Chains A and B, each alone.
Chain A
Amino acid sequence: MDFDRIKEKLNILADAAKYDVSCSSSGSKRKNTTKGLGDSSGMGICHSYTQDGRCVSLLKILLTNYCIFDCAYCVTRKSNDIKRAAFKVQEVVDLTISFYRRNYIEGLFLSSGIFKSPDHTMERLIQVAKKLRKEENFNGYIHLKSIPGASDELMREAGLYADRLSVNIEIPTKSGLKLLAPDKKHEDFMKPMKKVKDEIIQYKQESKLIKSTPKYAPAGQSTQMIVGATGESDRDIMYSSAFFYKNYNMKRVYYSGYVPISTDPRLPAIGSQVPMLRENRLYQTDWLMRFYGFDIRELLNDDFQHLDMEIDPKLSWALRNRHLFPLDINMADKQLLLRVPGIGLKSTNKIIQARKYRKLNWQHLQKIGIAINRAKYFITCDSREKELKDLTSEQLKQVIIKNSQSKFRKELSPQLSLF
């Protein structure tokens, strides 16, 4: 192995791949049954964290950063003057195996610039995955990018070797896409996504009848949207997200605050701040939608198009729906408990378990670990102490903000000083 050459390629092609947020390695059911290498049947593992606090779970690289497209938001766009490089198929295979054996990674995340044609590119990605599975007997995690415009045939093959497939929609609105990526068509993104979804459904049905049916993308599909590049509203973003969850059975939609990388006048200037707080609020909304039983229309709608940056979306929703509270913690249904600000999934389960044995009071709730400073305004329990409830929602919001600490306090301060 020519280490210096590989090192240089790794530098260029890891740098170019880092704007892809997904690094998940969970949800696959690929067991090591043949005494081979690797097992991805358990939960995902983060083997390290970058200085920006993101999990490093997979070896995330591009096969090449040569690209025939010129999408304004992308670092590898054709017109960008950067160093270009390309890995050979075998080089990626060797690197993945050597890293995996040393317990650095859970597997491979392979994406690519589009060289020659979408099909040509997709074919190479598949070659890497196929080699890993067939020649190296590798059962670790493989995440492949579905290249927009790739043929159905290739997408069907890709799913046989990959655990997850993803195609990044990047721009949440059609008009934004037209503006920033005029060479790409909306349909090119949707076609591979639809093919993969259909195959997953078909393979699942078959495996019910025939147990030996091979696995097809067992960890499902995901996609990613850039936030803050085209002036879209939070409602626009979350409605497209809900659309993908519902119609394409997405496992995950990722939101990526736009990191300025271009002087293109269509985009935020270099040096403008990455909208990390907004990104965080969008993820919170995403979680409420997926795990807390919220319909997206309750959280964002025509009257309420942007999320409140000062407080989390659940608290914001609760303040708009005061008539539903207070809830009796010892009686309320699980679905309602989940809607109380300051009570999460785990606390909900603990409350439900613990209240079978005795009525819970504030001390119990504190020990269970709920965020009393927010929850106390929305619940009653087995105790005479009650919180003042004759505050308006706006007053209550200010009280809660004053009595809580936010890691985003610094970013919020210019807005807070208005009050």
Chain B
Amino acid sequence: MKQRAITALNALAVFAALLALWQLILWVFHVPSFMLPSPWAVVRAAGARFPVLLNSLAITAEESAGGLAASIAVGVLVALLFAQSRWVRKMLYPYTLLLQTVPIIAIAPLIIMWVGAGISAVILIAFIISVAPIIANTTQGLISVDENLVHLFLMHNASRRQLLFKLRLPHAVPSLFVGIRIASGIAVIGAIIGELFAGSVRVGEGGLGYSILYASSQLQTDYMFALVVAATVLGFSFLFLVMFLEWYFLHRWHESARAPETESHSHSWLRGFCDL
């Protein structure tokens, strides 16, 4: 516990030092505030437009969550299909890579044309760029079951259904969570990028990505910074939530969700951060 408190204090100290450096640069080089506002100006801008900022945050959170949820649902279904045979995998897997590599900027106009600008277009973009890691990881989990466990099930004349629900799916849950953890970060980024192109149906109102664009056109650099901070907080919250759920579901039985033996205190879902 004491060690963790020290780690937290260190992180805070670094944060304070960075703020100080930022302020120092402003004073020494006389940077105009529309290029780089002071930390305090950013806080003031956030405070002044707090309800609007919260609204933007909520919109982006909703779009990210929607995209991530769609990725999980579709990703698991596709993984189940892929797990059926090596043949299916070889035939279809390259196309999931295509999803990951397609330049979203290039197809954004198409998406707007198909589903119209607004939340659904952004969700679709967040989904497209976050689904691949879920497919890849879940498939890996489904097919990497120990051969002897399969033999054990066969010895009891287990049905295909039993093999799937009592062996392959539970075995794939830790891998699924690895996929979700990766996808959660990408989904937020995807939503913000999506908003840059398809973010708003009304002028001046939209998610974080759209608001950043709008604030930039108005030269409200201090508010832009506040939006960037909000976007970072959102990404972090998603990651934290997923890590907590992962710990909650897996800590009783899975190694990855446990604290190392040397730390005798409670199992920690924050371990990923402490280990970095």
Asked whether A and B interact, the reply is no
